[in-house]
Amino acid sequence: MVLLSLTASHRELDLDALERLSTGSSSVGRVVVGTCGPVAGAVVISTCNRFELYLDVDAPLSGDSVRHATRHVAELVAHASGVTGDVAARSFTVRTGPEVTEHLFAVASGLDAMVVGEREIAGQVKRSLAIAREQETTSKTLELLFQTASRTSKRVGTDTELGAAGRSVVALALDLAESELPPWDGARAVLIGTGSYAGASVAALRARGCEDISVYSQSGRAEAFAESHGVRPVDSLVEALADADIVVSCSGARGRALAARTDEAALGAMVAGNFGGQTTLPHGLTGEVGPEASLGHVLDAAAVVRARERAADRAGDEPEPRPLVILDLALHRDVDPLVADVEGVLLYDLATLKAHAPAVAHDVVAQAQGIVDAAARRFEETRLGREADAAVVALLDEAEVRVVAEIDAAVARLTDELALRGEPAPEESDVDVIARDVRKRVHAELHDKIVAVRARATAEARAAEAALVQGAVALTMTASTQRDADHRSSR
């Protein structure tokens, strides 16, 4: 088994490119496992600032195989997202072996987040594994990898100041909006969406003293969410906006609608076979135009204009209604960017938040990184130990054959000696004594051999993975160079 990851995040791509790339992400893991023979498991992490695929490959991978695998999955992502295959391929950072473990543990612990130390990512990593279980795409190795990542994240949260800081994308957004709002105990908030960010938003708003919170959902889940979180459901978004001071939009509905357009049959045909095969886009799918072009936003400029007009009517003789702050925390923008042009409206999106993300003290990050590094080393030692188990089992099997042969020979000699003396054949207790002595001697001789075989098998596994890592690094450097060239040419 070999671990392989293809990752793209706010560190490598601007959020517009990341948004396009992650369209259709919900189907990628299922289709890869269902159609690519060597892939034993897949888990996909798709959040507001990252899109990552973790694969468990049941085949020896060479540098060429890594390139084939990357291209195969990139074409799959390209088809689902509407970008070209070349763009998808060079958007990913490719990792293999221990680098996969190190990266995932850092991600789960918030060290690779847009807001370093944010805790939402820990829940997102857990949910990614849960989704893979539901889709039946996980594997024993990926289960252990992601569960260990969650335990590592928990330790970082409890053993360092990083976890005590209460840092999150939601908290940062509310901090940025605060200067434009009335006091929190008098502010009126509207949530769009009922997912994990909505729950985190309720908690963050209440922590600041805001109690007037309502929720709107296109999917009809507002009432259930409102009941479980103690907020108020609304049916008319425009009416709710007319009374609101702040809107937190985090539905992701546009992203799910885009994903629903994915034709899994065509995707399956595109990646059928194993990693060594050729990949061809189905006829008519060039990937030149993203499918999101014709899909509306959850909140458009027209709706906001109507809401502002109603707010002005209700303000009566007041010079102007209070400003409306809108926080768009969805990667696949819930809010039409044109909303920013509406008078009296301030729109903050993920790009704005990224630009204002605060730094963290170096010693705090170093302490958290130390925990992550130690956990990754332990995981890799355990995993490589399992690689060596096959060699040890083979040695034990050989030893058992020798033990049986030596016991039979010893019993036969004793039987002959007793017969010469006219005595009866050995009793069962005599045979048991012989068996214990033989096993003790053979296993004592075997100890040093087991140590040597395990060391040799582990060293061979490390060497093979080191070669794979070099291949992945070379592939990533090529992709990074191409991204830089694309960026320069677009200026």
Among 36, 48, 210, 250, the one annotated catalytic: 48
Helix/strand/coil (H/E/C) assignment for every residue in 405-442: HHHHHHHHHHHHHHHHCCCCCCCHHHHHHHHHHHHHHH
Q: State residue 475's pLDDT score.
A: 47
The pLDDT of residue 266 is above 50: no
pLDDT tens track for 359-398? 777 888 899 999 999 999 888 877 766 666 667 777 788 8
Total-model pTM: 0.64
Place of tokens 């830089």: 484
Q: Is 142 in a helix, a strand, or coil?
A: helix
> What contacts 24+ positions apart, CB below 8 Å, involve 63-68?
63/467, 63/468, 63/470, 63/471, 63/474, 65/275, 65/276, 66/4, 66/94, 66/96, 66/468, 66/471, 66/472, 66/475, 67/471, 67/475, 68/275, 68/276, 68/277
Q: State residue 28's pLDDT score.
A: 82
DSSP-derived letter for residue 367 is H
- Quick one: tokens of 218? 């296109």
Query: Has 210 been annotated as catalytic?
Result: no
Cβ atoms of 55 and 41 within 8 Å: the answer is yes
* Backbone phi and psi for residue 300, each to the nearest 5 degrees, phi listed first: -105, 175
Best-predicted range by mean pLDDT (48-57, 307-316, 352-361): 48-57
pLDDT tens track for 433-489? 999 998 888 888 887 777 777 677 666 666 655 555 455 445 455 555 665 555 556
In 2-79, where do the E strands start and end? 2-9, 39-47, 50-57
The pLDDT of residue 418 is above 50: yes
Q: Is 399 in a helix, a strand, or coil?
A: helix
Place of tokens 């939402």: 120
Place of tokens 């005590």: 164
* Backbone phi and psi for residue 58, each to the nearest 5 degrees, phi listed first: -95, 65
The pLDDT of residue 153 is above 90: yes
Say which residue, 432 or 10, is predicted with more confidence.
Answer: 432
The pLDDT of residue 103 is above 90: yes
- Percentage of the chain exceeding pLDDT 90: 30
Tell me the C-alpha distance between 293 and 239, whole Å.
28
